[in-house]
Amino acid sequence: MPSDATPDPYTNPLAFGQRMQIYRQRRGMSRPVLAGLLGKSPSWVKQVEAGLIQVPKLPTVLRIAELLRVRNLADLTGDQTMPIDLFVGPGHPRLAAVKQAVDAFPLAADREAPPALHLRHRLDRAWAARHEAPNHREVVGELLPSLIRDAQLAARQAGTAADRRAAQAVLSEVYSLSQFFVAYQPDAALLWRVAERGMVAAQESEDPHAIGIAAWLTAQAHRDAGHAHFDAADAVTLETLRYLEPQLPDAPDDVLAIAGALQFEAGYTAARRGEAGAAWGWWDKARKAARKLPADYYHPVTSFSRAIMGAHAVTIAVELHQGGESVRQAARADKAVIKSRPRRARHRIEEARAYQLDGQPDTALATLDKAHEAAPETIQYNGYARRIVLEETEAKQPERRRRASELAVKLGLLAA
């Protein structure tokens, strides 16, 4: 192995500081940047990495893990007695059945496929159930196996070119629904398999709306994979926007909405990069797109709407680590009604991140309680929420520590 090869952080014995330096370098982040995000000096980061000062306390360790996108806390600390996966939730009991349906893809057909219109109605009901149910993963996980098998069968049995395109559009959207279920569960290979099949089916459908949805989810998968995949996320997003742009003047609301959702995704990725001007610029484009939609319109997949733009502003500010601005945006966004339970819970989590950034941990915990009330399965699978809760279980104030511990039990992070 070359002498300048990056060490493996799993190799023992490596001190905390060495592991932190390895992950920082793999992320492509300089000491001054990490120090600024932590509210520390570059010399402090250097001393921690060199082992000249003691390992930081748990709240700071959790913050470092979030910034460096270390998925399992044990990988950063080296302590295998605390294998806490910060960005992946627990495996859902229905994950195996969904995986089996995706992986099977049988070639022989022993029955006739349901009509595409029938599948469309079932799919629409599944999306509605996802938005309305607090236990949305359970509901969607129960519906998906038969929906996947029937949509695959319909795509194979379609007779005419028009029927094939219609069936592929439905199949693509079924894979999109599957990606919502699989996301943040411990099977990254399945997530990518679903995302790629969804994109292929969308392209086969030649349906702008299906292509937009598949691209929107693929871009998210790239971005969530870490800093090294941000360029891929941008490539998918921007290429799809170029494809959609000529069609927008006469496009129906669903295509206008998916274009707006993609514009926000470009801003989200820019915010993750720390590019404030580009992030807010894309958000403004998305806001203008939302204004072209009817006041009560709500996209059934992305939740894109006029009402969602306030929540999107909170996300941009939080990703840019603008504490005061994120709290101001949260106050404005709270006036809008978000219809989807999981999307409302996700917004509450983003608000909690804003309050945490602004030094208001008690308000952050209260906001996470609201997220749990809206959709328990959303907060259970969200890495940021898990990080805040774990951090506050170490708080000095007894009442805050108690509240955080109670929420940690609800999320399965601590034993009852």
- Which tens digits make up the pLDDT trace of 120-129? 999 999 999 9
For residue 3, the model assigns a pLDDT of 40
276 pLDDT higher than 90: yes
User: Within this chain, do residues 46 and 106 fall inside the same structural domain, yes or no?
Assistant: no
Q: Which amino acid is at 229?
A: H
- Residue for token pair 């060199």: 50
Which residue, of 172, 206, 240, is where some domain finishes?
A: 206
* pLDDT-derived band at 108, boundaries 50, 70, 90: low
Residues 98 and 62 grouped into a single domain:
no
Query: Contact 340/180 with Cβ under 8 angstroms?
Result: no
Q: Quote the domain boundaries for residue 45.
A: 16-77
User: Mean pLDDT, to the nearest integer, of 198-206?
Assistant: 96
Q: Do residues 135 and 181 both lie within one domain?
A: yes
Sign of CA dihedral 402, 330, 371, 98: negative
pLDDT exceeds 70 at position 247? yes
**Domain-located, residue 58:** yes
Shared-domain flag, residues 126 and 158: yes
Write the CATH number for 46.
1.10.260.40
Q: Higher confidence at residue 208 or residue 31?
A: 208
Clarify whether residues 199 and 155 are in a common domain: yes
Residues 413, 416: Cα–Cα separation, whole Å: 9
pLDDT at 84 over 60: no
Q: Which of 61, 34, 37 is nearest to 393 (CA)?
A: 61
State residue 86's pLDDT score: 53
Structure-token pair, residue 140: 């969607």
Same domain? For 201 and 171 the reply is yes
194 and 107 in one domain?
yes
The number of distinct structural domains making up the chain is 2
Q: 54 and 132 share a domain?
A: no
Mean pLDDT for all residues in the chain? 88
Does residue 106 lie within any of the structural domains? Answer: yes
Name which of 387, 267, 392, 371 is nearest 320 in CA terms: 267
Domain end residue (candidates: 187, 206, 225)? 206
* Predicted local distance difference test score (pLDDT) of residue 202: 97
- pLDDT tens, residue by residue, 347-393: 999 999 999 888 899 999 999 999 999 999 999 888 889 888 888 88
pLDDT at 89 over 80: no
Q: Which of 206, 224, 251 is the last residue of a domain?
A: 206
Write down the pLDDT at residue 124.
93
Statement: residue 113 has pLDDT above 60? yes
- pLDDT tier, 71 (very low <50, low <70, confident <90, very high otherwise): low
pTM of the predicted structure, to 2 decimals: 0.80
Banded pLDDT at 10 (limits 50, 70, 90): very low
Whether residue 138 lies inside any domain: the answer is: yes
Q: Looking at the predicted structure, is the pLDDT value of residue 11 above 60?
A: no
Please indicate, yes or no, whether residues 104 and 201 belong to a single structural domain of this protein: yes
Residue 327 inside a domain? The answer is no
Give domain status of residue 39, yes or no.
yes
| Co-location of 98 and 200 in the same domain | yes
Question: What local confidence, expressed as pLDDT, does residue 104 receive?
Answer: 87
Q: Tokens at residue 191, please? A: 């997530």
User: Of the given ranges (2-16, 166-180, 263-277, 289-303), which has the lowest mean pLDDT?
Assistant: 2-16
- How crowded is residue 93: how many other Cβ atoms within 10 Å of its Cβ? 10
Residue 287 lies in a domain: no
Name the more confident of 311 and 70.
Answer: 311
- In angstroms, the CA 76 to CA 23 distance is 8
Res 5 pLDDT > 50:
no
Q: Is 149 a member of any domain?
A: yes
Q: Is the pLDDT of residue 25 over 90?
A: no
| pLDDT confidence of residue 338 | 87
Q: Are residues 102 and 197 in the same domain?
A: yes
Q: Where are the alpha helices (DSSP H) in 112-160?
A: 116-132, 136-157
State the pLDDT confidence band at 159, using cuts at 50, 70 and 90: confident
- Ranges 158-162, 164-168, 382-386: which has the least confidence: 382-386
Average pLDDT, stretch 126-136? Answer: 92
One domain for residues 133 and 72: no
Question: Is residue 125 in some structural domain?
Answer: yes
pLDDT at 9: 44
